[in-house]
Chain A
Amino acid sequence: MAELAYREALNQALAEEMARDPRVFLMGEEVARYDGAYKVSKGLLDKFGSARVVDAPISELGFAGLGVGAAMVGLRPVIEMMTWNFAILAMDQIVNSAAKLRHMSGGQLRCPIVIRGPGGAGGRLSSQHSQALEANYAHFPGLKVVAPGTPADAKGLLKAAIRDENPTVFIEAELLYGLKGEVPEGEHVIPLGKADIKRPGNDVTLITWSRMLTAVALPAAEQLAAEGIDVEVLDLRTIKPMDEEAIAASVKKTNRVVIVEEGWGYAGFGAHVADFIQRELFDDLDAPVARVHGLDVNMGYAENLERLTLPSTARVAEAVHKVLYR
C-alpha cells in the first residue's frame, strides 16, 4: 500500500473513476488549469481534456444546477465546491432539484451526482469560512451525506459516491488535505453507510466523523489510555445513511457514549445520533449520552477564539470522565 495524502487519495479516486467511466466529469472553480484550489484535481485536465475537467465561472448555483441537469440525462457529474460555505449559494439546486427529482417524477428520473469540497474550519478564516454544515444536508430526504476522515476512506468513499445512483454530498476538510495515510491501490470501494471502528476499546465509545477523528477523538483516546480508560473510536464515515448497526454493536459493548462533532451542537447531527441511541439502546446505557461539539457561536479569527470554539481533546476527556462518573 502506498502512503498518500488525503488530497492525493481523492485525486486517485477521481482519476480512476474518470478512466473507468466516460460519463464522469469534474466541474468547479479552478479545477482545471489551476489544478484545483486545494490541488485535489491536479493533473486531471491533462489526462482527460477540457470537456471532462471544466473550469466553471464563480456561479455556484448555476454550475450545481448544470450538474444536476446532466445527471438527469445519464452523465455522472462530480461538482467541486471550493468550500461548502460557497455551496450555500447552490443549496436551491442541491435541495430543491437534486434531492427531489426522483420523488416528484414518481421514479422516472435519477440524479447520480456528487457534490464535493472541503467543509469545517480551515484555520484562522473567521466565520464565513469555518462552518461544518453536514447536519444541514443530512436533514433533507433524498441526499446521501459522506464525511471521510482518513485518506483511505476518502478514496474508497469517493469511488462509491461516484458509482452511487443518488445525489451525494461529499464533505472533505481543508485541514485534512495534507493528512497522510496508507491507501489501497486500485479497486478500493467502501460502501456508503458503513461505519468503521478506528480504535477498538471496552470502556466508552467516541462516535465521530470527518476531521474530528484524527484531530480530537484518536488523540483523546490515547491520552485516556494512559489513565487506564479503554476508549473505542467509531468513525461514522457516512452520516446519511447512518450505520445504526455499528453504533448499536459498540454501545452494547461499552454502554457509554460521547459524540464528537466539529459543527454546532444546536440541532447538530450529534443530536440525531443521541436520539437514536436513547430510543433504541436505552437499556444498554450506563450514563446519559454526552456530546462535544463546536460552541454555538460564530467562529472568531483570533487564535484563542478559534481554539476555544472548536472541540478539543481536553473537552473530550472531560466528557469521557463524566460518562464514566469519574
Chain B
Amino acid sequence: MAASNELMLTMYRKMLLSRRFEEKAGQAYGLKKIQGFCHLYIGQEAVVVGVNEALRATDWVMTGYRDHVHPLVRGADAGMLMAELYGRDGGYSKGKGGSMHFFDIEHGFYGGYGIVGGQIPLAAGLAFASKYRNEDRVTVCSFGDAAANQGAMHETFNMAQKWKLPVLYIVENNKYGMGTDIARVSSVPDIHKRAAGWDMRGEEVDGMDVLTVYEKVKELVEWIRAGNGPVLLEARCYRFRGHSMSDAALYRTKDEVEFEKQRDPILKLRKQLLEKKIATEQQLDQIDEEEKAVVEKALAFADASPLPPDEDVWTHTLVEEGEADVRPRERVLGATDVKWPSFPTDFKVTWDLEPRTPNTENPAAKKGAA
C-alpha cells in the first residue's frame, strides 16, 4: 500500500524532527550537558519513521540503546526526552534512565535497553501477553546487527515461531557493531537469511528509503496480525556518525561514509516530494524550520528543568504497597489527556498454545484420572 501525499509529508517532517533532535543532542553532548554514553540515530531515520507510520497507536515498540527517536516519532514530548538526556527531573524517567533507557508507556514505547539484544526476549513476552489475552496487537522490536549474534535471539526466535507470537523483529543493520564490520564476525552476515533456521519468515528492505520501509512493514504487520506468527525484517541502513559520541569511526573510510551520505533518506524523500510536486522547496524548508523550532524548544525545556530532588535516590527501586505507576506527561506537564494502558484482571484465556492430538495425550494424566 503506497503512502498518501499527506503521509509522505508526515514522514518527511518526522525524519527531520529526528535528525534535528539528534544533531542538537550531539551538540549538547559536546557542551557536556549530556554525559555518559550517547548513541545517535543520524542516517537511519527512514527505518524508524517508515516502521512507525505502518503501525497502529495501540501497537507496542521497543529497541536497544540507540533509542532516542523511537519514542519521538510515536509522539513523545521532545522536551521531556531531551530533559531525560540532560538527566533532569522533567525527563520521562526523572533522570533515572538517561540516553540508553528511554520509556514512554503512554505512546506504547516499552524501552530502550542497554544490554545488547536484551530486548529481544522481552518483546516476545509482550507479544505472548497479547496473544494470551486475545488482543489484536503487534509488538515491534528493533535491534542492531550485532545483537543478532547474541544467544538471546536464537532462544527467542525459536519460541516466537513455535508459538506464533505476534511480533515483528527488525534488525537495523547499519553494518557495524560498534567498530566491527558485521561481516567480520558473522558466518551469515545477511541476517534475515537466518530466519530459515527457525522456519520463520525473513525479509530484507532498503532501510535508506522510508517509503519502501513503510510499504514492507505495512504488509508484514498485517500478516502478523492475521495470526501467522513472527517475522524477521532486515533493514539495511547506515549511521552517519560513530557508534557513540566517543567514537571517531576510524574503522571505516571517509569515502564509504561520503558514499552513504549520498543515500541520505531525508534528501531522497525530499527529491521525491519535489518531483511528484507534492510540495515546493519553500514548503519543505518551512517544515524543517518548524522542526528545528521544536528542538530548540526542547533544549530550552531541558535547560530549565531542575535536577531530580535528592530524595529521589530512594524511589522506584521497588513498588511500594499501593503505589501507582508514574504517568510522565501528567507529572511533568500536568497533561490531562494521558491515555494510560490498563490491562484486564478478569478474563478467560482461550488460547490453546499446544493443542493435544490423540497421539500426544498425557498417559500419566489419564492414569491419574482413572
Q: Which residues of A are in contact with B by a Cβ distance under 8 Å? A: 21-23, 25, 32-33, 35, 43, 45-46, 49-52, 54-57, 59, 61-75, 77, 92-93, 96-97, 101-110, 141-142, 144, 165-166
Query: Is B362's beta carbon under 8 Å from chain A?
Result: yes
A106 touches B155 (CB 8 A): no
Residue of B nearest to A60 (CB): B155
Q: How far is the CA of A67 from the CA of B316 in the complex (A)?
A: 21
Does the CB pair A107–B94 fall under 8 Å? yes
User: B159 near A: Cβ within 8 Å?
Assistant: yes
Query: Across the A-B interface, how many residue pairs have beta carbons closer than 8 Å?
Result: 195
Contacts of A74 in B (CB 8 A): 129, 133, 341, 343-344
- Cβ of A104 to closest chain B Cβ, rounded Å: 4
Q: A50-B352, A68-B121 are in contact. Are A106 and B159 (CB under 8 A)?
A: no
Whether A50 contacts B97 in the complex (CB less than 8 A), given A22-B348, A73-B129, A103-B317, comes out as no
B91, B118, B128, B356 interface centre (most CB from chain A within 10 Å): B128
* CB-nearest residue of chain B to A25: B132
Tell me whether B93 and A66 are in contact (CB under 8 A): no
Stretch from B1-9, B108-116, B274-282 at the A interface: B108-116
Cβ proximity bits B120-162 to A, threshold 8 Å, 1 near / 0 not: 1111111111101100000000000000000110011011001
By the criterion CB–CB under 8 Å, are B60 and A66 in contact? Answer: no
Subset of 15 A-B contacts with CB under 8 Å: A46-B365, A50-B354, A62-B155, A69-B124, A73-B129, A73-B130, A75-B129, A105-B111, A106-B93, A106-B96, A106-B97, A107-B94, A108-B325, A108-B328, A109-B111
Whether the pair B159, A56 counts as a contact (CB closer than 8 A) is yes
Contact B128 A69 (CB under 8 A): yes
Instruction: Given A33-B362, A74-B129, answer yes or no on A22-B152 (Cβ-Cβ < 8 Å).
Output: no
The B interface is mostly helix, strand or loop, or mixed, namely loop
Interface residues of B (CB under 8 A from A): 60, 91-97, 101, 103-105, 110-111, 113-115, 118, 120-130, 132-133, 151-152, 155-156, 158-159, 162, 315-319, 323, 325-328, 341, 343-349, 351-356, 360, 362, 364-365, 368-369
Contacts of A51 in B (CB 8 A): 132, 349, 351-353
Best-buried of A102, A105, A142 by chain B (most CB within 10 Å)? A105
> Could you say which residues of chain B place their CB within 8 Å of the CB of A32?
354
Enumerate the 5 nearest inter-chain pairs by beta-carbon distance, A residue then B residue, closest first: A69-B125, A65-B121, A74-B343, A62-B155, A106-B93
> Do residues A103 and B316 form an inter-chain contact, with CB atoms below 8 A?
yes
Interface contacts beyond A54-B353, A59-B156, A97-B115: sample of 4 additional A-B pairs, CB < 8 Å, sorted by A: A61-B155, A67-B125, A74-B343, A104-B101
Say whether, besides A62-B152, A75-B132, A102 and B101 are in contact (CB < 8 Å). Answer: no
Per the bound structure, the CA–CA distance linking A4 and B162 in Å amounts to 37
Identify which of A68, A70, A96, A106 contacts B94 (C-beta below 8 A).
A106
Please give me the residue from chain B that is nearest to A35 by CB atom.
B364
Q: Which residues of A have CB within 8 Å of B129?
A: 69-70, 73-75
B residues within 8 A CB of A109?
103, 105, 110-111, 325
Set A64, A72, A108: member contacting B93, Cβ < 8 A: A108
Of chain A, the residue at the smallest CB distance from B319 is A165
Q: B96 contacts A103, CB within 8 Å?
A: yes
Docked pose: A165 CA to B324 CA in angstroms:
11
List the A side residues contacting B319 at CB < 8 Å. Answer: 102, 110, 165-166
Report the bound CA distance from A43 to B95 in whole Å.
Answer: 47
For the complex, what is the distance from the CA of A56 to the CA of B124, rounded to whole Å? Answer: 13
Are B124 and A22 closer than 8 Å at their CB atoms?
no
Contact (A22, B159) CB under 8 Å given A103-B316, A108-B105, A166-B319: no
> In this complex, which of A45, A68, A69 has the most chain B Cβ atoms within 10 angstroms of its Cβ?
A69
Q: Which residues on the B side are within 8 Å of A54 (C-beta)?
A: 353-354
Contact between A52 and B349, CB atoms less than 8 A apart: yes
Kindly provide the distance from the CB of A73 to the nearest chain B CB, expressed in whole angstroms.
5
Q: Which residue of chain B is the closest to A74 with respect to CB atoms?
A: B343
B151 cross-chain contacts in A, Cβ below 8 A: 61
A106 to B327, CA, bound (A): 9
B273 CB to closest chain A CB, in angstroms? Answer: 37
With a CB–CB cut-off of 8 A, which chain A residues contact B128? 66, 69-70, 75
| Residue numbers in B under 8 Å from A61 (CB-CB) | 121, 151-152, 155
Give the CA-CA distance A171 to B27 in the complex, in Å: 49
Chain B contacts for A71, CB-based, 8 A: 125
Determine whether the beta carbon of A73 is less than 8 Å from that of B352.
no
Interface centre among A66, A75, A103 (most CB of B within 10 A): A66
